[in-house]
Amino acid sequence: MKTYFAVVTMVLLVTMVISRILMMQNQGIKAMKFGEIDKKDFLIPPFALFYFYLISSNAFHWPQVSKQAFFRSELIGWIGILCCASGLILFFFSLISFGKSFRVGIDEEQPDKLVTTGVFVFSLNPIYTAFGFVLLGQFLIFTNWILFVYLALGIWLFHRQILREETFLKKHYGKEYSDYCSRVHRYMWK
């Protein structure tokens, strides 16, 4: 069951993002800005597809790149489920809180208002925090060394993107964003 929940988590995350992008597109808002500022972003999708395969191959017993696990623990696997569920819930409420301001990537042309309500009261970056919970949870479910590498690289990539977004937000929103940053932590509560 835990392994299937890991796959369902990935499917739900992707479905929520695609649904939000399509809903916004129907409202005349281009929410997909991925790779428009930094073309190196296009290196991410092949690694994401490989990650989806790693999770699916573990769950459905497809040919695996590596079966080597750090350890096996039923309790740690259930903690992984809790991390994935927490990540999904946080992601869902992040999308709701974002409203029409949601973008995949940085929108320099038509940024919407600065969102400081909903889950953004607790975190400047709840979506990246949610992804971090999901990556951690999936590693705890499978404890595979490749997923550990993905966890470490994912956290590094999220942090890199957060720094890029912070630079834009400071420039675009100025004091309003600085005041917001003084009240709320980059990842979770202060």
- pLDDT by position in tens, the chain (length 190): 899 999 999 999 999 999 999 999 999 988 888 777 677 777 788 999 999 999 999 999 999 998 888 888 999 999 999 999 999 999 999 999 998 888 888 778 777 789 999 999 999 999 999 999 999 999 999 999 999 999 999 999 999 989 999 999 999 999 999 999 999 999 875 5
Q: What pTM was computed for the model?
A: 0.92
Phi, psi of 125 (to 5 degrees): -135, 65
The answer to whether 105 and 37 are in contact (CB under 8 A) is yes
Determine the distance from the C-alpha atom of residue 90 to the mean position of all C-alpha atoms in its chain, rounded to a whole number. 10
Domains and CATH numbers, the chain: 2-183 (1.20.120)
Identity at 66, one-letter amino acid code: S
Partners of 65 in the β-ladder: none
Determine the distance from the C-alpha atom of residue 126 to the mean position of all C-alpha atoms in its chain, rounded to a whole number.
Answer: 8
Contact 27, 100 (CB under 8 A): yes
Characterize 39-78 residue by residue with b for buried, 16 or more Cβ atoms within 10 angstroms of its Cβ, and e for exposed. Answer: eebeeeeeeeeebeebbbbbbeeeeeeeeeeeeeeeeebe
